[in-house]
Amino acid sequence: MLFKLTNTKNPKKLVTLCFALVFLGASLLVWREGAMLEQAYISDQRNTLDSIATSLDKQLQHSVDILFFYQQAMEFALDTPFITNDTHPSLKAFNRERHKPWWSISYDQRRTIPVFGVSEEFVEQHDDLLIRNNSELERELSAALELSYLLPLSRYASTLQFRTWYISRAGMFVSSEGHKLDKSVQTTYQRMLSRPFFAQHAFTNNPDRTVCWSYYQDKINPENQVVTASVPLDYEGHWYGVIGMDFTLDVLHGYLKGIAEQHSTDDGAVYLLDNKLTALTSSMGRHGEHLVMSPIDQARLAQNMSNNSVGSLRMQSRFITWAKLDSFDGVLIREHNLYQGLRGDFGHITLLLVFVWVMFTALLIGTWYFIRRLVTNMSVMQNTLSWRANYDTMTRLFNRGAFIEQAQQLSASCRAHSEPYSVIQLDLDHFKNINDTWGHQAGDKVLKHAAGVISNTVRGQDIAGRVGGEEFCIVMPGASLADAAQVAERIRQKLASKPVVYSAEVVINISASLGVSSSTEKGDYDFEHLQSVADHRLYTAKEGGRNRICCAD
């Protein structure tokens, strides 16, 4: 094997092959290191996001647990109300105020938040969502007053939530910001009623009575742009209202920024997205405006999220890592662009690896170029001698020996691949008369002209050779008898239509007779036999009048 390689006919290719193998081996090693580095980078990104998601989940779950506590407390109050008769002061106050446009009731002003409400007329105007059932008012008012005892405690247990509230379908509500409402009760209730969370908890929209998350964007009042977690308040098959918590974008942004800085050593941005993949907020900005995702990118992300709870994918020059949250109906994603990646530890190692590979490649190319030039200079003379041994110096076509060798090789290849194989035998008509009339120099010029026509007409994979004085042969691998006949006809027409200008006074008209044979006739791939058949048909063409082709016996 080594002997064959060292005696190859193209030493430049051997030199290039050796250097290519060295380059390929080195590149594979660099690629392997790069792949391992990439896996380490992906693991680092996922671990970082997992830490951030766990921390955020923990805080959100704490708030949701408090929300469920309020729900259970109100359900207990509905089951065991402390208002049991019409003489209770709170119920008397309610019956006295219930017809006013807005009203408030406070059982103990020092320890509770007022329970606010709107008039019965307002409730009747919104009878698609609201209902004031007098038989349920006592127990619901009792539950709302008990909640007003608990809500002041929420500011001590608060982690992320901005406010906690209860809004009733009977036209009353309690909010941890009750002291700020004053005379804006009706406006506040109307605004809360129009927010998406309220309709979300109708039995048809939330049959499982689970936590619902929604985003409210008030363009007039930026401070009202909040993310809301809410649960329905049901008792004995009756839907009383909704208990919820609001999380402002400022607080969520600040928390994401803090935990991102705590768990990450680079500049990657963390975004909180809702279930529609809308960016709510991020560690970079209050509204997540830095996240730019095309519809195609969103579709790819949604498809990846459909079957997995965590994952990662590339988006152009960005690397996106995502993780669904357990306590929030949405997803947390971390975006890392190319520039940020290069500034980190993995980026520095990658740049060093690329630099080493580039330097090695440059040195290898320089060495290859130097050695290849030496080999080239040595092989030029060898190629010149080889050309003279294989080609006819006058026509620049294969000579007879080299042509037969090439033809037999093509024949064996076509036989092995079951491809057609055709032979064209060509002889110039009345060539002896040309030599006798105008001399051998004129004959040589005619031969060169004929060789040029043949070379310009045959296909790239065909070979042609001078096999006699004025006789040529063409081998056409992959060509059927009909294909070869078409090429032969084009050669005949070109020779007949282009006379040879020998001198200013002498113009020589030439023509040729051609015979064509093919393996498609009898399945015979033997070149010598096909050449013999083509030669026989060539003489048939001459006997038929010359300047023609013959394809059949």
pLDDT in tens, the chain (553 residues): 444 445 556 677 887 888 888 888 888 888 888 788 778 877 888 888 888 888 888 888 888 898 999 999 999 989 888 877 777 888 888 888 888 888 888 876 667 788 898 888 888 888 778 888 877 888 888 888 888 888 877 655 556 777 888 999 988 899 887 766 656 788 888 888 888 888 889 899 999 999 998 888 766 666 667 888 999 999 988 999 999 988 888 888 888 888 888 877 667 788 888 888 888 888 887 777 777 777 888 888 888 888 888 888 888 778 888 888 888 888 998 887 766 666 666 667 777 888 888 888 888 888 888 887 887 777 777 767 777 778 888 899 999 999 999 999 999 999 999 999 999 999 999 999 999 999 999 999 999 999 999 999 999 999 999 998 899 999 999 999 999 999 999 999 999 999 999 888 889 999 999 999 999 998 999 999 999 999 999 999 999 999 999 998 7
Which distant-in-sequence residues (6+ apart) come within 8 Å of 122 by Cβ? Answer: 101, 130, 171, 186, 189
Paired tokens of 374: 């030496």
The domain 400-550: what is its CATH number?
A: 3.30.70.270
**Separation of CA 365 from chain center:** 34
Give the number of other Cβ atoms within 10 Å of residue 536's Cβ. 14
- Do residues 162 and 251 make contact, with C-beta atoms less than 8 angstroms apart? yes
CA atoms of 196 and 226, how far apart (whole Å): 12
Q: Choose the catalytic residue: 236, 470, 471, 521.
A: 470
CA atoms of 92 and 114, how far apart (whole Å): 15
Which distant-in-sequence residues (6+ apart) come within 8 Å of 163 by Cβ? Answer: 175, 176, 177, 245, 246
Whether 136 is catalytic is no
C-alpha Rg value of the chain to the nearest Å: 46
Q: Hey, is 426 helix, strand or coil?
A: strand
CA atoms of 305 and 524, how far apart (whole Å): 63
Query: Measuring CA to CA, which residue among 495, 417, 422, 491 is closest to residue 463?
Result: 422
pTM of the model: 0.60
Residue span(s) of the chain under CATH 3.30.70.270 come to 400-550
